[in-house]
C-alpha cells in the first residue's frame, strides 16, 4: 500500500515498489487484516540489493524477493525512506545521497537537520530484524 504518491517516470525501481507493496499486502492477509499496515523500505533494496534485485535503472520483482529471502529481513520505510536513488544514479539530489549498504543506510535516526549541526546514527535493532 502506497502512503504517498511517488513519481516513477524517471526511475525503473517500480518493480521494487510493486514487489514490496505485494509483500505488505500478503502480510496483511496473513494477519487477517489485524494490526497496523506496514510499508517496507524500497530504499533498502536500492542501497543493499543492487547486485541481486537491481537499481533505479531496472531489475526484476522476483529478484527483490530473492534478495529479501537471502538477507532474512527488510526494514520498514521509517528506517530508510525512499529517495529514488541508487549507487549509479546521477539525477537530482542523488549525487549527494549515501546509497552504500551500511548499518546507517539500513536503519537510522537523526537528531535534527545536518545544516543545524545534527547527525544521524544507526539503529542497531530494526523492529522486524532478528539481531
pLDDT along the chain (131 residues), means of 10: 46 74 91 90 88 66 87 89 84 88 86 80 70 48
Query: Is 11 in a helix, a strand, or coil?
Result: coil
Q: Is residue 9 part of a domain?
A: no
| CATH classification of the domain holding 23 | 3.90.70.10
Q: Is residue 47 part of a domain?
A: yes
Give the cell for residue 100: 552504500
For residue 128, the model assigns a pLDDT of: 59
78 phi, psi to nearest 5 deg: -70, -20
Q: Is residue 1 part of a domain?
A: no
Burial readout 104-129 (b: 16 or more C-beta within 10 A, e: otherwise) = ebbbbeeeeeeeeeeeeeebeebeeb
Q: Is residue 32 part of a domain?
A: yes
Q: What is the pTM of this model?
A: 0.76
Query: Rounded distance, CA 95 to CA 78, Å?
Result: 22
Q: Is the dihedral of CA 17, 38, 85, 49 positive or negative?
A: negative
Query: Is 55 in a helix, a strand, or coil?
Result: strand
Q: Is residue 97 part of a domain?
A: yes
Domain range for 99 is 14-122
Is 107 in contact with 126 (CB distance < 8 Å)? yes
Amino acid at each position: 500500500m502506497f502512503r504517498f504518491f511517488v513519481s516513477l517516470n524517471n526511475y525503473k525501481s517500480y518493480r521494487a515498489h510493486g514487489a514490496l507493496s505485494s509483500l505488505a499486502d500478503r502480510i496483511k492477509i496473513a494477519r487477517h487484516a489485524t494490526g497496523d499496515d506496514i510499508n517496507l523500505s524500497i530504499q533498502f533494496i536500492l542501497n543493499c540489493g543492487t547486485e541481486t534485485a537491481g537499481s533505479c535503472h531496472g531489475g526484476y520483482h522476483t529478484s527483490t524477493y530473492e534478495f529479501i529471502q537471502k538477507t532474512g529481513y527488510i526494514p520498514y520505510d521509517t528506517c530508510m525512506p525512499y529517495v529514488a536513488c541508487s549507487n549509479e544514479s546521477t539525477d537530482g539530489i542523488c549525487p549527494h545521497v549515501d546509497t552504500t549498504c551500511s548499518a546507517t543506510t539500513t536503519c537510522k535516526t537523526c537528531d535534527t537537520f545536518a545544516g543545524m549541526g545534527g547527525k544521524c546514527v544507526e539503529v542497531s535493532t530494526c523492529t522486524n530484524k532478528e539481531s
